[in-house]
Chain A
């Protein structure tokens, strides 16, 4: 909860350990490669590893920015809070609204791919074979997660930790066996030289690669519930960022230079390279890691049995974090008067934000209807083919996911720059590297060069998304415009500044945030910085 909320409201218990903090982030971001790998291989072909490299570099910048912000302002509001504080209310709303789009897509996309991974062991669930059954199971999962969150059941940190540990071990084994027994560097280079995509396909692949790195909001959510977050968060975040980057780069390099254990052939009997099973095959795109694991020499015999199950569980946890996260972000936005107070309302019996949970779950179901429609109704399929380049359900969800992430991350970089300039007194135990010292409004500040590089990177990914995703460029901006309209009406109704910001005492708020986080040394340092700054200004005035 932001610090300007009423102090009588209950606080979240700070009981998350360093491993808990890591696994919290990992269960959110780590699941993304299960979704992103197949989509990127389908479009970026021989340049998939380059697409992941570009998105990965941007992701490292985003990760470092979130680490600095979450360690400095350990509140659960995440991106919208940082942007609101750095740039003002309306930008905070836009960032938060984009995050909400991502969380609702997260619910549908991960439930969808969870079913895709299950279909590896249960062929009846394959979308192209039984679209109504696939749709029914995904819908059942979304409704089930909604109900579980309403009654307040949430996967425990211990469960998250166990699944994350199993996944890290599993992925490490797959990659070790893959690189030892099936990786051919010459084949990788050959694939890259002979199957390089067109610029359009490379841009599309790069914009999809960013979805393998979405979920850094969890860093700030973990910060809210971690003891001494300023010390713990930077340690766990750097490990998390590097682990995710390594897995994404390793999988993409392996997939392009991979000699499958069992020969893969097409309908005409021609031998195919591993990555060639993904273009024009949404069923395969939704379960890429399971398909790769099954083709790893020796270990694949075992991995073929458990990776679909592990993938499905990890994806379901991630889907659940979408239901939980959207209600929490809406709650935080509501306490900052960016959304109506109805989103703060808590169910009398279950003590959960039922209205938020149900509202955003309904949006997730609407998104599911749009995604499933082409497979369910042939008439809609021809409409999609005619107007949207024949995009399928998975593409639709991925388009919006990439749009929401690129929009919110762009604002977070701007928010970081804004906070460096307007709030230089807050002690920063972790700072992103490469800073230029300068003076701003009489204070010594450090301008973050990495934030500028990251902003250019993520903004170009946003442009790629708008340019190459026919559905994303319509539905994404429409979501933002609809939200802005709603925001303007609400602020006018409440007689709050529409384009400006509500007056807030950030100094008191920051002291309270650090006190609640148990960062008493940093709180003392902050108070001393404020006093010294005020004394200096008073001296200059006289």
Chain B
């Protein structure tokens, strides 16, 4: 259970990091436009990974 909690925390941390990257890229949007696209995809991928990890944890908890 404690291990699941740690994994859940890590997943939430990944989502937060993704959000921070998205916000920082959005700040640079007026200067960069196209240049911020890889950063936006990076942030999106981090959020997707965090959500995927959380959904797996939720499934494991459902089985317990």
Chain A interface (Cβ within 8 Å of chain B)?
A: 49-50, 52-53, 56-57, 176, 179, 185-186, 188-189, 192-193, 235, 238-239, 242-243, 245-246, 249-250, 252-253
A252 touches B31 (CB 8 A): no
Cβ–Cβ < 8 Å partners of B4 in chain A: none
Asked whether any CB of chain A lies closer than 8 Å to the CB of B45, the reply is yes
Per the bound structure, the CA–CA distance linking A250 and B24 in Å amounts to 14
A189 touches B41 (CB 8 A): no
Per the bound structure, the CA–CA distance linking A242 and B31 in Å amounts to 28
| CB-based nearest B residue for A185 | B28
B37 touches A246 (CB 8 A): no
Cβ–Cβ < 8 Å partners of B42 in chain A: 246, 249-250, 253
| CB-based nearest A residue for B46 | A246
Contact of B35 among A189, A235, A238, A250 (CB under 8 A): A189
Closest Cβ of chain A to B36, distance in Å, is 7
B38 touches A239 (CB 8 A): no
Per the bound structure, the CA–CA distance linking A186 and B36 in Å amounts to 10
Per the bound structure, the CA–CA distance linking A246 and B43 in Å amounts to 8
Closest Cβ of chain B to A315, distance in Å, is 24
A239 touches B49 (CB 8 A): yes
Known contacts A185-B28, A186-B31, A192-B32; A253 and B49 CB within 8 A of each other: no
Cβ–Cβ < 8 Å partners of A49 in chain B: 38-39
Per the bound structure, the CA–CA distance linking A50 and B34 in Å amounts to 10
A192 touches B35 (CB 8 A): yes
B38 touches A242 (CB 8 A): no
Per the bound structure, the CA–CA distance linking A242 and B56 in Å amounts to 14
A249 touches B53 (CB 8 A): no
Closest Cβ of chain A to B55, distance in Å, is 9
Closest Cβ of chain B to A185, distance in Å, is 4
Cβ–Cβ < 8 Å partners of B35 in chain A: 188-189, 192-193
Asked whether any CB of chain A lies closer than 8 Å to the CB of B48, the reply is yes
Known contacts A242-B52, A246-B45, A246-B46; A53 and B31 CB within 8 A of each other: no
Per the bound structure, the CA–CA distance linking A179 and B21 in Å amounts to 9
Contact of B49 among A53, A188, A242 (CB under 8 A): A242
B53 touches A239 (CB 8 A): yes
Closest Cβ of chain A to B3, distance in Å, is 12
Asked whether any CB of chain A lies closer than 8 Å to the CB of B15, the reply is no
Cβ–Cβ < 8 Å partners of B17 in chain A: 176
Per the bound structure, the CA–CA distance linking A309 and B46 in Å amounts to 27
Per the bound structure, the CA–CA distance linking A56 and B45 in Å amounts to 11
Closest Cβ of chain B to A202, distance in Å, is 13
Knowing that A185-B39, A245-B45 touch, tell me 19 more A-B residue pairs with CB under 8 angstroms. A49-B38, A56-B41, A179-B21, A185-B25, A185-B36, A188-B32, A188-B35, A189-B28, A189-B31, A189-B35, A193-B35, A239-B49, A243-B49, A246-B45, A246-B49, A249-B38, A249-B41, A250-B42, A253-B39
A-B contact pairs, 13 of them (CB 8 A): A50-B38, A53-B37, A56-B41, A57-B41, A179-B21, A188-B32, A189-B28, A189-B31, A193-B35, A239-B52, A239-B53, A249-B42, A253-B42
Cβ–Cβ < 8 Å partners of B48 in chain A: 242
